[in-house]
Amino acid sequence: MVTIRIIDHVNHGYTNADGDVIKDLILKELNTGQQVLLSFAEIDSVSSSFLNSALIDLLDHYSFDFIKSNLGFKDSSKAINDAIRRRFSFEVSKKKDLIEV
What is the total count of domains within the chain? 1
- Provide the domain limits for residue 41: 2-100
pLDDT digits (tens, 9 = 90+) for 22-40: 999 999 999 999 999 999 9
How many residues in the chain?
Answer: 101
Give Cα 28 distance to the centre of its chain: 13
pLDDT digits (tens, 9 = 90+) for 69-93: 999 999 999 999 999 999 999 998 8
Q: What pTM, to 2 d.p., does this model score?
A: 0.91
pLDDT digits (tens, 9 = 90+) for 43-73: 999 999 999 999 999 999 999 999 999 999 9
How far apart (Å, rounded) are the C-alpha atoms in residues 47 and 16?
Answer: 9
pLDDT value at position 57?
Answer: 97
Q: Nearest to residue 57, comparing CAs of 71, 44, 43?
A: 71
Helix locations, the chain, DSSP H: 16-30, 48-54, 64-70, 78-100
